[in-house]
Amino acid sequence: MTRLQQLFTEQGQSPWLDNLRRGWITSGELERRVDRGVRGLTSNPSIFTNAILGSEDYDEEFSGAVGAGSGVEDAYWQLVTSDIRAALDILRPVYDESDGLDGYVSVEVDPKLARDSARTCEAARRLHRQINAPNLYVKIPGTAEGLQPIRTMIAEHRSINVTLIFSLDRYAEVMESYLCGLEAAQGDLSDISSVASFFVSRLDTEVDRRLEVIGTPSASELKGKAALASAKLAYELFQRTFSGPRWEALAARGARVQRPLWASTSTKNPDYPDTLYVDGLIGPDTVNTLPDSTMAAFEDHGTVAHTIDVGTDEARALLDELARIGVDIDEVAAQLEAEGVASFEKSFDELLDALNAKVDSVS
């Protein structure tokens, strides 16, 4: 049994792959990864930018779409949906065998819509209708403007991956949106699924930068700890939210918990262990989506053990200490959210520019 398989069978955590490229689909690599224990897959604009611009695998389909009269942006979405549909087919057996727990593939709405609630709803609805697979997650950014689309999509029985969550307050708002959506939905709720993607390593990167500016020995001792602490408190909040009479009434209608998904789990600081954000966040009813390099590291030397709720009191004390010395976690989260939205927009724009240049070069 692989370590990835052990995560699920022994600890109740689902390991997902945070990457997708066409060569993995055509070569059988994605199927082999599923055989080794991958139980889902996430994508984002940056992943597709790297995949499409980093190989010739998409050139024929892109040229055919443009030649048939599609605009560059429409051709891009054709490439994306082709990959997503193929990945959905490969993951479908996992979805069926797990009774809809896993086997999902995530595709993100146009990142330029992150601050536009109405158009985010339209885009998410359109992707669900266009791709039309029960194991599809449409990703909606967890911005303030994303909260209403989350409620609306869940109420319409459309499964959602809420992405770019950095703060505990926003995470609480996201879970509330999910619950409100379930309460507004008609009939049996068992066909609705959702995850809430809590971003991890980027938090340490920014907090560490601020601690470096403070420069005291006590500040240095706090480096590399904020992300795991925040995630542990997020898990505590998850457990508290999905319990009690309100949740029990929804569960009686077939509702599933909105599992926390640990995202951005590659280690950015080379001084930290390369499996830091995997080993430290293992527990039931969670997902960890791993970039391929992090997955390879965990498969090689990761530790499978229950860790998610170990040291919760210490995590709370650590965040209190950060606040005491002047590191405002809420301010950090707001900055990271803005940077995350901007980064995905930039990747999307760069990709469209490159595809336009490709059209110009062959016309």
User: CB-side exposure of 86: number of CA atoms within 13 Å?
Assistant: 17
CB 147 within 8 Å of CB 175: no
Residue whose pair of structure tokens reads 């370590």 in the numeric block:
3
**In 10 A of CB 81, how many CB atoms?**
15
How far apart are the C-alpha atoms of 158 and 139, rounded to whole Å? 11
Which residues, 6+ apart, have CB-to-CB distance to 334 below 8 Å?
A: 166, 167
Residue 14, phi then psi, degrees to nearest 5: -100, 115
Q: With the C-alpha atoms ordered 259, 264, 266, 271, is the resulting torsion angle positive or negative?
A: negative
The kind and range of the H/E element at 197 are strand 194-199
Which residues, 6+ apart, have CB-to-CB distance to 45 below 8 Å?
A: 108, 111, 344, 345, 347, 348, 351
CB 42 within 8 Å of CB 106: yes
Catalytic residue among 112, 139, 346, 358: 139
Q: CA–CA distance from 215 to each of 108, 263, 282 (Å)?
A: 39, 29, 32
223 catalytic, yes or no? no
CB 159 within 8 Å of CB 192: yes
Which residues, 6+ apart, have CB-to-CB distance to 174 below 8 Å?
A: 142, 147, 150, 162, 165, 196, 258
**In 10 A of CB 129, how many CB atoms?**
9
Taking the chain, what is the end-to-end CA distance rounded to the nearest angstrom?
A: 52
How far apart are the C-alpha atoms of 74 and 66, rounded to whole Å? 9
Catalytic residues: 139
